[in-house]
Amino acid sequence: MPHVITQACCNDASCVFACPVNCIHPTPDEPDFATSEMLYIDPDACVDCGACVRACPVDAIVPHTKVVTEQLPFLDINRSFYPERPQGVKLPPTSKLAPVLPAAELHQRGKYPLTVAIVGSGPAAMYAADELLTQQGVLVNMFEKLPTPYGLVRAGVAPDHQRTKLATRLFDEISWRRGFQFFLNVEVGRHVSHADLLQHHHAVLYASGALHDRRLEIEGMGLAGTGTATEIVGWYNGHPEFTGLPVDLSHERVVIVGNGNVALDVARILTSDPDRLVHTDIADYALAALRDSAVSEVVIVARRGPASSAFTLPELVGLTQTAEVVLDAHDHARVREDLATVQDNLTRQKLEILTKLGDASAPITRPRIRLAYELTPGRVLGQQRCTAVEFTVMGTDQVQRIDAGMVLSSIGYHGTPIADLPFDDNAGVVPNKGGRVIDPQTGQRVPGAYVSGWIKRGTNGFIGSNKSDSLKTIQTLAADYNAGLLTEPIAGPRAVARMVHAQQPDVIDAAGWKIIDKAEIARGAAQDRPRVKFTRVADMLDEVKDHSDLPLLQNMLGALRRS
């Protein structure tokens, strides 16, 4: 196999479009793309040109000769995606070539060039900006409530997954393009309103993600020691909103309800040797807490059986290579039962790995992770603080108690309503057609309002899944602009900066973010770490003010003049 895609795959499909022989699948036009856990290189069709390596934003593709020990399982994982065929026979492509979806075509209208406000700065937002800026003269103003951009890539990816965070290199490049402007530390709905943005832009595109966890609604959730896995992710990643989270690791066991990738991340970090994390960008206070931790076991509990595990195969492979993972006898037996009947190849691969896990009855010699299945949470026990969780064993009246000093739910995300836009609370999304916001009462479009990412489609997909999703929204937006359906801004590009600065004097622009970024990297270099993050907004603002050569408003106006 000349090349292999490994665990860091982000699914943005840059490699698909770069490949001259169509040997990477699924492609964005194939049905499996939206739900695929990663992309796969056909070992018999790859011609070893290296185009995919150069295109990959997260360095997830390596030649087979450079695969390190922990990446070896991905040789089989890539190959297993493709059916067996006689030696020397290459699989006929499912399409002639992976289609390059056309960029949106714009026809200049009115006095001002197309000017779009994008709310949010995570992957969906950055990919949308990328698509818009392929057109000559388009202006993109991006609004983010934190002084730092890139959303969950910065604050959601686990600190020991640094390669996944390499996606920010592409985002940095986008943010310095002609026509792009950051307005960081500006919260839409607080500092500026939707109406403010719509007055100064042809359109407002919301790519704000799904900011809130789905809560586990059982008795006792709310006691000290209970919370969500996502809060812990924000805590160890230094997100300013979670630095003060009261994380008490003085107890021997943590229970996580839900077994998706976030649950695996949290369990892995809580059981990691702190010396393994010391060279990552984990928050200093989190590293100190882990050094003093008494946690010896994290139990990841699922309602359904092993065949229905929510985690992805790449994350399971990575987990078993960096942590001790065990099952009890009952769950080992259920894994074998599922393996005997499962038809899906991907599920079979997961189950085969689970069969090789250790026995939970063995003495605990170092912090470990236990996977538990077919347990429905009933209630959390405790007075002031949680002490245990009771579960009902699936299909029985049997109650099983697991003692724990911390109980976390990890059962998915839910979108947050956006002021002045309709919202589907059941689905957790803004009602839309192709990204165009629709009023469900009238079935008519909401003028100038668009969505992309999780707030558009729900909480599915991976970092790179937002690329094709954002392109579709931009194509819709461009069609509306060309049809004359978007209202002209009340003033030119400079008016945006004046309006924002008047309502939020502490706005941070791209130059300000660069100051923060450089300072974090410099702090990290002194400790042989990729970066040491600022975790307080006030410290970020002080850093910018101390190192800015020009007032922030002048910086922004200068950037707009250059555009």
Beta bridge partner(s), residue 358: 326
Q: Which of 465-477 are b and which e, b meaning 16 or more Cβ less than 10 Å from the residue's Cβ? A: bbbbbbbbbbbbb
Give the model's pLDDT for residue 557. 46
User: What pLDDT, in 10s, does the model give residues 22-36?
Assistant: 899 998 888 888 889
Q: Which of 497-531 are b and which e, b meaning 16 or more Cβ less than 10 Å from the residue's Cβ? A: bebbbeebebbbbbbbbbbbeebbeeebeeeebbb
| Two tokens, residue 562 | 């250059």
Interval 6-12 mean pLDDT: 92
Q: What is the pTM of this model?
A: 0.90
Give the model's pLDDT for residue 402. 98
Contact status, residue 403 vs residue 410, Cβ threshold 8 Å: no
Give the model's pLDDT for residue 5. 95
The CATH class that applies to domain 217-411 reads alpha beta
The 3-state DSSP class for residue 9 equals: coil
* CATH architecture of the domain with residue range 3-80: 2-Layer Sandwich (3.30)
253-257 vs 406-409, strand pairing mode? parallel
The structural domains of the chain, with segments of one domain joined by +, span 3-80, 115-211+415-504+551-562, 217-411
Res. 1: pLDDT tops 60: no
The answer to whether the Cα torsion of 274, 276, 279, 283 is positive or negative is negative
| Two tokens, residue 207 | 């790519």
Pure H helices in 192-295: 194-200, 229-236, 261-271, 274-277, 284-291
Res. 209: pLDDT tops 90: no
The answer to whether the Cα torsion of 127, 131, 137, 139 is positive or negative is negative
Crossing angle of helices 123-132 and 465-482, in 10° steps, is 40
CA distance 431 to 450: 10
User: What pLDDT, in 10s, does the model give residues 124-136?
Assistant: 999 999 999 998 8
Is 397 buried (19+), middle (13-18) or exposed (0-12) by CB count in 10 A? exposed
Res. 96: pLDDT tops 50: no
Q: Over 30-85, what HEC string results? A: CHHHHHCCCCEECCCCCCCCCHHHHHCCCCCEEEHHHCCHHHCHHHHHHHHCCCCC
Residue 130's closest CA among 165, 164, 101? 101
Query: What's the CATH code, domain 115-211+415-504+551-562?
Result: 3.40.50.720
CA distance 320 to 356: 10
Interval 399-405 mean pLDDT: 98
- For residue 101, name the pLDDT band (cuts at 50, 70, 90): low
Res. 6: pLDDT tops 70: yes
Q: Which residue has the tokens 């969505």?
A: 451
Res. 562: pLDDT tops 60: no
399-403 vs 180-184, strand pairing mode? unpaired
Rg (CA), the chain: 24
Residue 66 vs residues 14, 70, 78: alpha-carbon distances, Å: 21, 11, 15
Is 103 buried (19+), middle (13-18) or exposed (0-12) by CB count in 10 A? middle
Res. 65: pLDDT tops 90: no
